[in-house]
Structure formats: C-alpha cells, structure tokens
Amino acid sequence: MAEIVLSSGIRSNLLALQRTSDLTEITQERLATGKRVNSALDDATNFFTSSALNDRANDLNRLLDFISNAVQTIEAADNGLTALNKLVESAESTARQARQIATNRATTTGTLPFNATTALVGGGAGTPDLGAGDTLTFTVGTQTVNLTVGTNAATVGDIVAAINATDFARARLTTEGFLEVEAVDGSDLQVDFTDASAGGQTLQQLFGYTGAPQFSTTGQTFATTTALNTIVNAGDAIVLTAADGTVKTITVGADGTANDNAAGSIQGLIDEINSTNFATASLENGNLVVTSTDNTQPLQLGFTDTGATDAISDFGFLADGTRVEVGAAENADRRVLAAEFDRLRTQIDQLVADADFNGVNLLQGDDLIVTFNEDDTSTLTINGVRFDADGLGIAVSTNGFQDNAAIDLALQQLDGAINEIRRQASTFGSNLSVVKIRENFTDDIINTLEVGADALVLADINEEGANLLALQTRQQLSSTALSLAAQGDQSVLQLFG
C-alpha cells in the first residue's frame, strides 16, 4: 500500500523472500509433474515440439491396435489354409482309393494259362484256337481297334500290344495268365467277334466269360408299337443262344400280334425275350437293350435273314455274332468313396466359412487394408481369395465315381487346388511377414517419439530436489534477514518506553 512506508532494508528483504517463494512454487510443480516444461510459458519451443511428438506417438499407438488385428486376421487365414490343405489331401486320397478299384474290365476265365507267345490259331487245348481271318473288335465309345486273327494278331501278346498302342484302352497279361482289357477312362468297353473263318469259333474261346453281356441298339427311336416288319422282313429271325446251348428263335411276324416264338412289334420282341430264363430285354430312351440274366454265363446274339437282304444291324445293333460288352456295372465301394469325397467337399466349405477374424475372412473373398502411418500414405492391401470348394474348382463327384474318367477329373481338380492353396499360403506368409515387421517398426517409432518428447520437457528430479532444498534454506535466511531489518524500527519504540 502506498500509504505504508517500509524501510529500504525491509523492502529489499521482502522482495527477496517473494522471489524465493515464486522459485519454490516452480520447483515444487516440476517435482510434482516430473516436467521442467509444463506450459508454453516455461519454454514455448520445447512445449509445442514435445506435444507434436506425443500426438504422433498417440496416433501411431491407435494404429498399432489395427495392425495387431491385421496380424491376427492373416494368421486366421493361414491357419485355415493349413487345415484346408489337409482336407483336400484327404479328398485326393479318397479319390485315388476309388481309382484303384477296377471296374469295366474284360477278363479271360477258362482258357488258362496264356502267355505273350500263346498262338491264337491252332494252339490246341487250353488256348484260344481261333480261326485265321476271324476278327476281334474292341470299342470304347466311338473309338475302335480291329484285329484280324493270323494277320495283325497271331499271338495273345499281339492283342496286348495292339490295344496298348491306342489311347483309349489298355490290356495286360496277369501273373496268373489272365488277359485283361479295360477302357482308359473307365467307361463301357465292348468286344465284338466275327467268325470269318466259318469254323464255329466264338469270342468265348478267347475270353471264356467276362461279365453279363449286353446288346444295345444305337441311334434308334423305337416305340413299343413299332412293327418289326418295318425294320426287317417278315420271316427273318433273331436268335439268342445261352451258354448251355439253349436257343430262343424269335421270328418276325407279318402283323402286330405276338405268338410263341413270334413277334410283330418291339413290345412283342421284348415279351418273347423276357419269356426266357437266360435273357432280358427293355426299351430305354428308344433303344432296345438285351442283357444276359446270369452274371456267370455269356450270351450270343444272332440273326437269320430269310430274304438275304437284312441284317441285325438294321435294328441298330453294332454287329452280328457274339459280343461281350462290359457295362458300367455299379460298384458299391466306389459309390461309398464318392459319398465320402462329397462329405469332405462339404467340410471344405464349412472350414473356409469359419476362418474369419473380427468379421474379415480372407478365404471368402474379403480384402484387408492395413494402414501403417497416421496420414494413410503407407498402406498394404491384402487381397482375399474364394477358397471354398467351388472357388478351388473342386466339383461334386460324378456318377458315384463309377467311371475312371470322373475320378481322373476329380484328381486333376484336387491337384490344382493343392497347388493353389500352397501358392496362396506363400503369399499370405509374405504379407504376414511385412505386417509384423511394420508392427515392430511402429513400436520402435512410438518409443523413439515418446523418448524424444520427454527429453524436451522432463525435469531432472535430482536437480530439482537440490533446488528445492536450496530455496527452502534461502527462504529461511530471507525470513531471518527480514526479521533483523525490522529490529531497527522496533528499537525506536524503545525510546518511548
């Protein structure tokens, strides 16, 4: 207050005491906060620089959480690929197991032992003993190989070599001396025989028996009411011969009636064949199919032409004479394996659906964008893939794996899927490595920023402690000095005592 007059000594000591108190407060704040720069007033440059560094560290810290999530997302996809590869390999093993089960194979049975040098003509007992000029025809679909006995096929080994020279059938002699012939793709294999030498030979002399023979017309649109006399002449006859020599002769009638051993229509022909105990007939999609009813005996289909102008080929049967046709017989083991294959395929879809993390599934086509810095200028895009069964190109089993071609296609698809999974695992592994490297780098940068920010503002606690002790001492001394200065004024009062 202006009206109060202090002596020069008191005023000087009071000012010193006030300054010491201010310094004490500053030191106490530094000790309390641990910082020597607590506001822009303390050091504007260091304060704002430190704040900027801390702000960036905080931004990167928030990004670090997303980077960590990205790592987990990629690892979930990578785990999915590992399990997926095992499922696909299991499916491949199942398909290979089915492929090893032989079907649709023509095999000799009663003429053992054969070897590669066994003569087809004049071989005597235990050999085919066919006639020179007889013809063997092996057919798969529209592909055919014809062998003329004694010309381009003199031995059993010649048959094996000629068939193996094709790309649609394979033949071999087993260690027991069986001749085996089968289609490469597992489809129907038919064997036709023409007795050109007129020696009474049949295909049974070579093969013994190979399975229930089946004769099927091709390219026809028969109806049950189709009159036989519109196909061949009345009086012509279809002749069926069983293995025991039983003969069924069905004469083409002049009208549409069906009598014993006579038939006027396709239905009449079917009825006559079905009246035997060794053959059955049916109409399938307009084609007439005749099959042996006994799976242990052959069947011979013949034709008698009374007018010398017709042949059984007029019906659409591929050839006269004896035929062994190995049809696509149902194989229960293959069908069971096909069902197992389809179950594994379903598991592939379910596994892929479960390979997500935090709503992102890289195996179901989701993309993942990972941001590495605070201004979004450093990113990595990880493209997702569709690795369910359809995405991998793995189709459901076809025809219960009864055909080798269906299994071979499945194996080709599985092989491609395995290669694709392995390539993608490599890609995800590379991406995961990049993200983890950036995660560690971000951790290091955050630490560097925080250390740098602290270096600008943190106080030296030891120094500030010493300062506080010195200020407290100074404060005590200032108080003592102030007291001594005031004693001069107090001595004046004693004059009035």
Q: At what angle do helices 8-33 and 461-495 cross, to 10 degrees?
A: 160
| CA 197 to chain CA centroid, nearest Å | 56
Region of residue 198 (phi > 0: left; psi between -120 and 50: alpha; otherwise: beta): left
Does the pLDDT value for residue 56 go beyond 60?
yes
Q: Which H or E element spans position 280? A: strand 279-284
Query: What's residue 460's pLDDT?
Result: 59
pLDDT band at 4 (very low <50, low <70, confident <90, very high): low
| Domain locations in the chain as residue ranges | 59-100+333-452, 105-331
- pLDDT tens-digit readout, 18-42: 676 666 666 666 666 666 677 666 6
Q: What percent of the chain has pLDDT over 70?
A: 70
Question: Given a cut of 60, is residue 60 above it in pLDDT?
Answer: yes
Residue 235 has pLDDT above 80, yes or no: yes
Closest CA to 16 of 28, 8, 26: 8
The yes-or-no verdict on residue 138 having pLDDT over 70 is: yes
pLDDT per residue as tens digits for the range 169-204: 888 887 767 787 877 776 667 777 888 887 777 777
Q: What is the tens place of the pLDDT at every residue in 201-224?
A: 777 777 765 445 667 776 678 898
Instruction: Report CA Rg, the chain.
Output: 50
Please spell the DSSP secondary structure of 353-384, one letter per residue. HT--BTTB-TTBT--EEEE-STTS-SEEEE--
DSSP conformation class of 147 = E
Which residue is listed with tokens 């794996």?
401
pLDDT score of 319 more than 50: no
Tell me: pLDDT of 416 over 70.
Answer: yes
Distance of alpha carbon 361 from alpha carbon 365, whole angstroms: 7
**pLDDT higher than 80, residue 89:** yes
Per residue in 456-471, pLDDT (tens digit) is 766 656 666 666 666 6
Residue 39 is which amino acid?
Answer: S
Say if residue 421's pLDDT is above 90: yes
Give 247's pLDDT tier (boundaries 50, 70, 90).
confident
Confidence (pLDDT) at 352: 94
Instruction: Give me the chain's average pLDDT, please.
Output: 78
- Kindly state the tokens that stand for 295: 């799976």
DSSP-assigned letters across all residues of 175-186: TTS-EEEEETTS
**Fold observed for domain 59-100+333-452:** f41 fragment of flagellin, N-terminal domain (1.20.1330)
Residue 77's pLDDT is what?
92
Cβ burial of 447 (10 Å; 0-12, 13-18, 19+) is exposed
| pLDDT top residue among 321 and 427 | 427
User: What are the tens digits of pLDDT across the range 377-396?
Assistant: 888 999 999 999 999 999 99
- pLDDT attached to residue 417: 94
